[in-house]
Chain A
Amino acid sequence: MDLDLTSITDNWRYLANGLGLTLLLSLATVAGSLVVGGAVGLARCYGPAWLRWPLVFYIDSMRAIPVLVVLVWSYFALPIVTGWSLPPFWAAFVALTLHIAAYVAEIVRAGITSIRPGQTRAALALGMSRRQAVIQIVLPQTIIRMLPAFGSIISIAIKDTAIAAVIAVPEYMKQSETVAGQTFRPIEVFTCAMLVYFLILFPVTRLIDMAYLRVAHLGRS
């Protein structure tokens, strides 16, 4: 078996563009799902009772349906229902955000319930409003405790962006497929892709873990 790396070096710009889009889509997805998931998680814990079961239904449904199915549905079926079609990148953003936000919501809820109820009661006894107790006592500790889980959310988001290749978003996975197909060099191209994904994901998970170890003491109570 002879290796020929020219398939990669000749197309490096094409692959680099894909990598850029992978990072952009990951960043957008993480940001989007933190916002949506944070809101859903908070609404589930502190929101009105009637809102609770639709939110639980949404979260559990996303835990049950593969992200590929959500992605394909929002790209191919959503335009038929709503009449307007999303470009691949935005369809991927919507689908990934919807999917990952459900996990973020679960993490937020787990974080909030991990803070002993006595703390909220103590805050209320000191004359704080419920809102003050949540913002000043519960959430600051919750956020620190959620850090390791957020680390895995970032890693999951980056990994899941690869699935966007299925709806032809020109991100790194898709570009690798194209290059592999055109140069007939799948071995070099896909092995290179493995190294690239690993080199992005491994430091990210490690950095979050290290950051957590430095601030973990702030989350103890």
Chain B
Amino acid sequence: MNLDWSVVWQYRGALAEGALMTVVLSLATMVVAIPGGILLALMRLSRSRIASTASACFVEFFRNLPILLLVYWAYYVMPVALDLRLSGFVTGLVALSLNVSAYNAETFRAGIGSLRKGQMEAAMALGMSRWQAMREVILPQASRRVLPVLASTWVSLFKDTSLVSVIAVGELAYTAMRIRSQTFRVLEMLTAMAAIYWALGYPQAKLTDWLNRRFGVTE
């Protein structure tokens, strides 16, 4: 077994770009999925039967699908069904956002649900509208409780972006596997890929633990 680790250093630029793409894709997904999750949670909790059923169906459906399948579906089916032409990045973004929005919706719903009913009633007794009470009383408190869960979702999302590599989006996993097939340095590249993910993900996992201790609600 002869190993040549210099290949990792040689391709450092491409790997760094891939890692950057992974971060950008995760960020972009969260930017879509947090408002998406809030919207779905508010729909679920609204008094309109239609809105709440629609939100429940969306959440249950997209929570119960493998992300890889969503990625394929967004790649092969969505452009034809909706007559759209999207880049690989946007396709991946759509697939991940559908999944993460569904998870975030449940997170926000649980966060809002964890506040006692009296808070809403008190706010309304003070003359606030339902929407005002939601915005000024409920959501600020819920967001604190939601933070640790969102952090866990973020860590999962960060890892799940690797699945977008199957539709040739140039993030870290795709880049590393492409270099692997160009150089035939299989062990070196795959280990480097794992090490980079580890170096990026480990601090995030630890930060999540800290957020959980700091903000987590224990009964």
Chain A residue with Cβ nearest B160: A66
Main secondary structure of the interface of B (DSSP, over half): helix
Task: Report chain A residues within 8 Å CB of B76.
Answer: 180, 186-187, 190
Task: Known A162-B68, A191-B73; judge A66-B186 contact (CB<8 A).
Answer: no
Q: How many residues of B contact A (CB 8 A)?
A: 40
The answer, yes or no, to whether A163 is at the interface (CB within 8 Å) is yes
Task: Report chain B residues within 8 Å CB of A158.
Answer: 66
A25-68 residues with Cβ-Cβ distance < 8 A to B are: 60-61, 63-68
Task: Report chain A residues within 8 Å CB of B162.
Answer: 66, 68-69
Q: Which of A63, A191, A198, A201 has the most CB of B within 10 A?
A: A63
Chain B residue with Cβ nearest A159: B66
Chain A residue with Cβ nearest B162: A66
A159 to B72, CA, bound (A): 14
Task: Known A68-B173, A163-B163; judge A187-B202 contact (CB<8 A).
Answer: no
**Looking at the complex, which one of B72, B191, B197 makes contact with A77 (CB distance below 8 Å)?**
B191
A69 touching B173, Cβ below 8 Å: yes
Task: Known A66-B160, A66-B162, A69-B193; judge A187-B61 contact (CB<8 A).
Answer: no
Q: Which of A68, A161, A198, A205 has the most CB of B within 10 A?
A: A68
Task: Known A159-B66, A186-B77; judge A80-B204 contact (CB<8 A).
Answer: no
The answer, yes or no, to whether A202 is at the interface (CB within 8 Å) is yes
A158 to B69, CA, bound (A): 12
Q: Give the bracket for the number of chain A residues in contact with chain B.
A: 35 or more
The distance from the CB of A191 to the nearest CB of chain B, in whole angstroms, is: 6
A194 touching B65, Cβ below 8 Å: yes
Main secondary structure of the interface of A (DSSP, over half): helix
A63 touching B187, Cβ below 8 Å: no
A190 to B66, CA, bound (A): 12
A162 to B73, CA, bound (A): 13
**Looking at the complex, which one of A66, A155, A166 makes contact with B197 (CB distance below 8 Å)?**
A66
Q: Which of B60, B64, B165, B177 has the most CB of A within 10 A?
A: B64
The answer, yes or no, to whether B166 is at the interface (CB within 8 Å) is yes
The answer, yes or no, to whether B198 is at the interface (CB within 8 Å) is yes
Task: Known A61-B202, A166-B166; judge A197-B197 contact (CB<8 A).
Answer: no
Q: Which of A65, A76, A80, A191 has the most CB of B within 10 A?
A: A65
Task: Known A68-B163, A190-B69; judge A63-B155 contact (CB<8 A).
Answer: yes
Task: Mark B143-155 against chain A: 1 for CB-CB distance below 8 A, else 0.
Answer: 0000000000001
Task: List 8 additional contacts besides A77-B186, A162-B68, A202-B64; criterion CB under 8 Å.
Answer: A60-B206, A66-B161, A67-B159, A72-B190, A160-B66, A162-B66, A173-B69, A187-B77
Q: Which residues of B contact A (CB under 8 A)?
A: 1, 60-61, 64-69, 72-73, 76-77, 80-81, 155, 159-163, 165-166, 173, 177, 180, 186-187, 190-191, 193-194, 197-198, 200-202, 204-206
CB-defined A-B contacts under 8 Å, sample of 18:
A61-B202, A63-B201, A63-B205, A64-B159, A64-B204, A72-B190, A77-B190, A80-B186, A80-B187, A81-B1, A158-B66, A163-B163, A180-B76, A190-B73, A191-B77, A194-B73, A201-B64, A202-B60
